[in-house]
Amino acid sequence: MQHDKILILDFGSQYTQLIGRRVRELNIYSEIVPFNKIPESINEYKAVILSGSPNSVRGDNALHPDLSNIRGQKPVLAVCYGAQYLAHFSGGEVAPSNTREYGRANLSFIKDHESLFANISEGSQVWMSHSDTIKQLPTNGVLLASTHDVENAAFRVEGEQTFAIQFHPEVYHSTDGKQLLENFLVTIANVTPDWTPNAFVEETVEALQAKIGNDKVVLGLSGGVDSTVAGVLLHKAIGENLHCIFVNNGLLRKNEFENVLKQYEGMGLNVKGVDASARFLDALKGLSDPEQKRKAIGRVFIEVFDDEANKIENAKWLAQGTIYPDVIESVSATGGPSATIKSHHNVGGLPDFMKLKVVEPLRMLFKDEVRRVGASMGIDKELLGRHPFPGPGLAIRILGDLTPEKVRILQEVDAIFIDGLREWNLYDKVWQAGAILLPVNSVGVMGDERTYEKCVALRAVESTDGMTADWVNLPYEFLQKTSNDIINKVKGVNRVVYDISSKPPATIEWE
């Protein structure tokens, strides 16, 4: 089945993939390419979106796309840097802002209620993230909307289906961002929204069958949403040729190895449990740098899978539950100028000694899309609602070096926190939660004695995609009970704190 396609030009913004996610949330297929690698077959796309960028249009490093085959021929929506680019190089003026325009703002004026801003009212919250501002509109520019601090928050170009906005409609904090994108894509660009989870499953199964044929595939299951959905998707495509392996790296949650193996009983998947905890913990001895820890885990992960794969005759593929946020934060998914935030153990290919080829059926999906795809295949709702858990496990929640004792402490703390969320009916209201063991001791008093023990931080966030997140305002009564339980029941901990940082500027994990 042919779907209408949207082209997104990546200028390096960390939010670029969110544009793609929002577009796909509207059941519209999107492709992201670097700004300087525009496909020659531009007629395949119904519309084009220009992303934001960390660069300035006023600088020597300004990014210059060739829009000669796009402007005036395709509907265009320019976001942030894209809007500034259209202004600065088309007769307008862009200048430094007096203050950095970052965070929430509200639309104070809307001229166009029929087209781009249909069903959006004055007062609507938008998210700003720029240090330059548009002082003068480009030639033939027509003002569409303003905020209290940004006069030229949105404009269109007369004689073209070209629209530009200074804010980010793709992020969680722009309350009517999805509506604006729908107005542009469906109303203005006349795109048919028919790219659904069912369509993704059908087309991906066909693609996997064509790619893999009768080869055998080894899949690393983690018990989480991503690897589970990848497993069911692959099982649909190749059946018994899929061999699933769940590795205990010694950094899982309390009792997770046994619980996960039990979870997969009855799902029809061929699953083998491998306890390699000693191997992982040995490789992590003495390491405190988070990147070194991630790389050590990634190396051992590959070694364990190579050992297990060699036991499976004719295994030729290693399947992974890699999703978009993993790729984005490791390296630009498109080869574009996006900045690297952190490396991920399941991104970047395999070493030369490993004979397996990689297959990643979920590589182009965000977490919420993975859940929708899983639901369309009938996967249990409770399993799909499980919180994300980092691939390196508790290794990146233990700041500093690792010891078996530190792992034990954090497993106990984490179990009290997560079990408490479930008991208080808070688990499903939280997108991700966990505990962090800090590399500090603090003075405390227990009974009549002085203590000098560990401090742990609790973290709970709400999000839809993991790219942006807000901390959850958990009830004080819950936090009080959880803190008391941890201090009273976990030997070695005498202080509990709660993390109230949002993403951005912080990340969800501490390392």
pTM of the predicted model over 0.95: no
291: annotated active-site residue: no
Q: Check: CB of residue 257 under 8 Å from CB of residue 219.
A: no
Judge whether 168 counts as a catalytic residue.
yes
What is the Cα–Cα distance from 422 to 416, expressed in whole angstroms? 10
**With a cut of 70, which residues of the chain have pLDDT below it?**
1, 98-101, 130, 324-354, 445-450
The answer to whether the CB of 332 falls within 8 A of the CB of 338 is yes
Catalytic residue among 80, 182, 329, 344: 80
Q: Is residue 15 classed as helix, strand or coil in its secondary structure?
A: coil
Structure confidence at residue 37 (pLDDT): 87
Of 170, 182, 360, 511, the catalytic one is: 170
* Catalytic residue of the set 88, 130, 168, 235: 168
**Cα–Cα distance for residue pair 466/365, rounded to 1 Å:** 12
* pLDDT value for 452: 79
> What string of DSSP letters covers 444-476?
EEETTEEEEEEEEEEEEEE-SSSSSBEE----H
Residue 388: cis peptide before it, omega within 30 degrees of 0 = no
Query: How far is residue 429's CA from residue 474's CA, in Å, rounded to a whole number?
Result: 10
Largest CA distance in the chain: 80
Task: Encode pLDDT of 284-293 as tens digits.
Answer: 999 999 999 9
- The Cα 490–Cα 53 span in angstroms is 46
Q: Mark 413-424 as b/e (b = at least 16 C-beta within 10 Å).
A: bbbbbbebbeee
Closest CA to 419 of 368, 488, 478: 478
CA–CA distance, 153 with 384 (Å, rounded to integer): 39
Q: CA 22 to CA 77: how far, in whole Å?
A: 14
Q: Is 453 a catalytic residue?
A: no
271-275 β-sheet, strand order: 271-275, 242-248, 216-221, 315-319, 357-359
Q: What pLDDT was estimated at residue 229?
A: 95
